[in-house]
Structure formats: C-alpha cells, structure tokens
Amino acid sequence: MNNAMLLSALEEKFNLNPASARLLIVGLGATGYSAAQFLQQTPIKFGVIDSRRNPPLINSLREQMPDVPVFSGGFDQAALEVATHLLVSPGVSLNEKAIHKAMQAGVTVMSDIDLFACATDKPIIAITGSNGKSTVTTMLGDMGNAAGVKTAIGGNLGTPALDLLAQNGNLYVLELSSFQLERTSALNAKAAAVLNISPDHLDRHDDMADYAREKQRIFRGDGAIILNADDPLVMAMAGKGRSCLTFSVLHEADFYLQRGTINYLMFGERMLMRADELRLEGTHNIANALAALALGYAVGLDIEAMCQALKKFKGLAHRMQKVAESQNVSWVNDSKATNIGACIAALEGYDRKVILIAGGDAKGADMCELAPAVKAKTKCVILMGKDAALIERALAGCVPVHSAANMKEAVRIARQQSEAGDIVLLSPACASLDQYKSYADRGNKFVEAVLEQSAC
C-alpha cells in the first residue's frame, strides 16, 4: 500500500491529517521503535516519550532519527498536552495517570496494530487467548508457506507487526495480547480466533470480565471468527451474522478430536490426520492444531498442505519442550506457562502424575484455581520465587510441597523426589521477572540445571 492510501485510511479512521496531527509514541521499546521507523517514511509529525531516563533503544533512535523529539525520564505533561494522537506501546498501561488524563482531554489513542492495519490490504489472521497464541501463530506461518502462500508472522510474538511489512507477505499472522487489543480499533482480520480465556494479567485488568472484553476486540470487523467450543467464555463471544468456525477436543465441532482406538483430527466427516502424528505433547496442543486448521481453512489454505506442515512442526522453545531423559525420568521445559491456565493445560495433557516446578510473580491471579489440577495430576510440587508462599497456601496441603531458593535447587529437589518413569515439568503458572530477565531466561536456567545434574 502506498503512502497516499495509508494517509487516507488514517484520516478516515483516526482523523489523523499530517497537516495538523501531532502524534506522540509512548514507550520506546521494540514496538515504539518500529513505529518510529515506520512513521519516519511518512509526512506525519511525531515524537517519542518514555518514563525511563535511558530507554533501551534511545541511542539508536537519536542516531537514526536525529530530528525526532524525544522526551525521557518521565511522562512530560506539556508534551502530552500538545499531542493530538498517542500511539501507546503495549507495555504502558492506559491507566497510567498522565495517559489517562490525556485521554480524558480528548486525545486519540491508537496502536502500532492500527498503523499496520491501515498500511496493508493483504489478508490478516489475528490470534489471541490466554495460552497457545505463539504456538498457533507459528503453526500458521508454516502452514501458509507449505500451501504456497508467502506468510509472515509476528506481533506479540517476536517481530513487531510494522516490521513485517518489509517482508512483502501475501498473508500476515499476528499474535495479539490483551494489551495490544485494548488500544486497537482499526483491525479487520480476515480470520480471528480467541483460543481460550483463563486468569491472566489481572494486575493490569480490572477483573476477568474486563480481560475477556479486551480479548473480544479481536473480532471487530466482518471476517470469520474461530471459537473454542470447550470454553464457555469464548463461546459467549459469538456474534450474529458472522461466519463462524468452532474447534474442540471434547466433542464434535467444525474441527474436532475424534477419540477411539486411534485418535483423529477431524473436519466434519473428514479424517485429516492421526493425533499421534503431531510431534507435540499434550491435549492442549491438539486443540492448538485444530485452531490453526480452522484459521487456515477460513482464509483458503489447502488442508492437505496444512496437515503436512503440522506433521513436521516440532514446537517452540520453552513450550512443553522435552529437554532431557535421564535415568528414565523425562524433564520438560514449559517456562512460557506464565499463568494458571497454561499450567493447568500442561498438567491435563499427561495421563500420569508429574513433579511440578512452579512459582514466580502471580500477577494478582487467584492461585486457588490451580489446586484441583495439582491434586489430580501431580505427586509433589516444588515452589520458588516471589509468590511461592501464596501458592503454597492456595494448594492447602493437597500434595507435598517443597521450597527452593533458585532453579538449581528446584532441579536438585526434583531429582531427589523422582523415580523411573516420572515426568518433571517446569510450568510456573507465574511471570518470571521477579527472578529472571524473561520466561526464556528462566527456561534456559532450567535446561542448564537439568543438563548439569544429569552429567553428575
């Protein structure tokens, strides 16, 4: 799409005219920097503001775009009052006092996803949910390319959305978080899915209803909607007059798991592939595969090509990743399980009981919701991190609980408690930043500790 078409779309949807608009990018992380690079190619006047004195990309911005005004070390009220539009990065809460005040004064809030939606006329698949977003997004990237459609993936996963435009894809697949969706209004995906809803980010959302409402924003527009028939909160999002496909691992749906001597992934009456041809562990990954098939079908991807891509898909690092088999004990890294729902899904994917390593920052979630799955699926739990004591109280003695100061100690305790045939699962149900740089750093520390102790 050329600049004239982009500017026309921005004026129509956001009353953003380069002659009069003064856009301020709020937050100079990866998203804010990608937005600055994109806007630099347009006649739109913009600046950047960040509450941090030295945000991570400030030197790159000053070097590459020396004429762009930068305000750092706080949210300068004068700069916010001059702006007509705020492009707010997902890491910045809209409840931030200065941002909230600007919004009350009538400033238009938008996102990088809005810019992206106005900048391309290619089909977009949009994916959200509490769990499975990255896996389904990556599956669809492989499916699209296997079907001969040049497909680019990103958004909340890896590459910022605006950076994808340089790939000149014929299909874009975006993973979107609730934080991205709450400030996005221009997206009209050709197909969109809410994979599931479970407690997450309740430190930033008022309650579960508010969190679900933000997720539902992904269905704005007139494209096909894909719903998890096993999740009542998701099924309540069905809209009248919209093309709709469902998926389920519990009962028949448009795309579903048929259970028997051999389990099959089904589309109506059509057997697509055996479930055991997937290389991923857990029933929740079968649900992810069914969701991906439904989304791909909705945008016209060849079903056989999609199934071939699924058979080759090995999964993502830190997402139910089997990292070692030592003394007949399996060690599985699911560090990406940063909320209760992800941990429950991981536990329920196993037929035998596991030793669970969990803990970190619970992000305001009610950890009592974890107790039934822990009681049913674990032989013991090893807790670490900021909210370990909170989780132990929530589990209320339903299984033996051990405490660990760090990952090396957690792995040592797990090894002591394990017997041949056991599974040791790192699935924290919490964020990682209380002790680690990221969930990936946490997962890497787990892998290092497992390999180190396996060598002993």
- Respond yes or no: is residue 201 known to be catalytic: yes
DSSP per residue over 84-148, as a string? SEEEE-TTS-TTSHHHHHHHHTTPEEE-HHHHHHHH--S-EEEEE-SSSHHHHHHHHHHHHHHTT
- Per the structure, how many domains does the chain have? 3
Catalytic site residue from 85, 131, 156, 215: 156
Catalytic site residue from 85, 201, 205, 336: 201
Residue 365 is predicted with a pLDDT of 85
Mutual angle of helices 133-146 and 283-298, in 10-degree steps: 50
| Pair 245, 326 in one domain | no
| Pair 208, 343 in one domain | no
**Pairing assessment for the beta strands 70-72 and 85-88 based on DSSP bridges:** unpaired
Mutual angle of helices 303-312 and 283-298, in 10-degree steps: 150
| Pair 257, 402 in one domain | no
Residue 396 is predicted with a pLDDT of 87
Closest CA to 291 of 192, 211, 170, 222: 192
Tokens of 185: 């209004």
DSSP letter (8 states) at residue 431 = B
Catalytic site residue from 85, 131, 133, 333: 133
| CATH number of the structural domain spanning residue 66 | 3.40.50.720
**Pairing assessment for the beta strands 264-267 and 255-258 based on DSSP bridges:** antiparallel
**Pairing assessment for the beta strands 321-326 and 329-333 based on DSSP bridges:** antiparallel
- Respond yes or no: is residue 156 known to be catalytic: yes
Find the domain containing 242 and state its range.
114-312
| Pair 295, 331 in one domain | no
Instruction: Say how far apart CA 354 and CA 156 lie, in whole Å.
Output: 31
Instruction: Say how far apart CA 394 and CA 219 lie, in whole Å.
Output: 35
Instruction: Say how far apart CA 165 and CA 154 lie, in whole Å.
Output: 11
| Pair 105, 119 in one domain | no
| Pair 275, 325 in one domain | no
| Pair 199, 66 in one domain | no
- Respond yes or no: is residue 101 known to be catalytic: no
| Pair 101, 143 in one domain | no
Residue 206 is predicted with a pLDDT of 52
> Is 154 within 8 Å of 133 (Cβ atoms)?
no
| Pair 131, 200 in one domain | yes
| Pair 133, 248 in one domain | yes
| Pair 258, 338 in one domain | no
Domain boundary residue, one of 82, 110, 138? 110
| CATH number of the structural domain spanning residue 261 | 3.40.1190.10
Question: Using CA of residue 353, residue 200, residue 197, residue 187, what is the dihedral sign?
Answer: negative
| Pair 334, 304 in one domain | no
Per-residue pLDDT in tens (0 to 9) along the chain, 456 residues: 578 889 999 999 999 999 999 999 999 999 999 999 999 999 999 999 999 999 989 999 999 999 999 999 999 888 999 999 999 999 898 989 999 999 999 999 999 999 999 999 999 999 999 889 999 999 999 999 999 999 999 999 889 999 999 999 999 999 999 899 999 999 999 999 999 987 554 455 456 787 888 899 999 999 999 999 999 999 999 877 899 999 999 999 999 999 999 999 999 999 999 999 998 878 889 999 999 999 999 999 999 999 999 999 988 888 888 888 888 899 999 999 998 988 998 998 887 889 999 999 998 888 999 999 999 999 999 999 999 999 999 998 899 999 999 999 999 999 999 999 999 999 999 999 999 999 999 999 999 999 998 765
Domain boundary residue, one of 110, 129, 163? 110
